[in-house]
Structure 1
Amino acid sequence: MELQLQLYFYHREIDKTPAEIFRTVDSDEALLKGIEKLTDIEYLNGALNSREAGTKGILRYGDSPVETEITSYTKNRRIELKKEITAGTLVTMFNVVPVEDRSEVTISTKLFTDSAATFAVYALKIPRIKKQFNQNMERLENS
């Protein structure tokens, strides 16, 4: 039986337009500066800075490579990623809705796993994961 655990959920209005937000989301350089521990982005198809559904790559967090696939992308609005980790599959959704001169931002990261032990271990990691994601969002808001 597959178990699903919500690791992170963020929903807020921020004082940036969707295009301003996606300037960061769409830039490998900005992501490498803004996401703690992310040290490299490598595309498996040889593309550079690609943001299309089906794009596969490796995100490196220090020495740890994480296979990643963009499963959905809508310019300046939405990106969904699937990451394969030893614990299971992480699915992250980043959605932006324009609200006058601001944006409503929703981010969700879920872990899908077949292991009850993994589920329990990651449930204990949620406070640390939230702290790290919130710090990344503060950097985005202030960039």
Structure 2
Amino acid sequence: MGLRQVFYESWQMECCGTPFTVGDEVGWRLAPMAPKDVRTWGWDEARYAGLHRVEDHGGRGTSTTGRVQAIHVVHQVYEENGPGSRTFEPVPGERSLEPVDTCPKWFTRGKPSTGPGGRSRRRDAVGVLVALDVPGAAPPEPRDPF
């Protein structure tokens, strides 16, 4: 079994995606996630090295076919840059994974609440992390989250 970790961003699913379930065979255009993108999400680069993302918009590419082995909704905490700024950014290390059997079509956005220093914080569902069994892909590493 060659598992790939795939991040399917909420906006990609909500725009033109089709929900899927554990056990489904899917065909997606995948792009490697650059280390700076992994950092932007506030994720540990070492743990998420080799992460791919679904890319339904822009560029050409071939479809990667595989069977969905696991799905986790990714929840990320965001905080305002400064009190009242209304500009939110991910809080490193404040992310959680919720196992589900089916990928949602629509993702929830949390209501802001006051956090440390008077800054608003919210917890959003930002996509799903999928364990995709791809024939011929490298086997999973011990650090993989699934």
Which is helix-richer, 1 or 2? 1
TM over 0.5: no
**Higher relative contact order by CA 8 Å / sep ≥ 6: 1 or 2?**
2
TM-score, normalised with respect to structure 1 = 0.27
TM-score, normalised with respect to structure 2 = 0.27
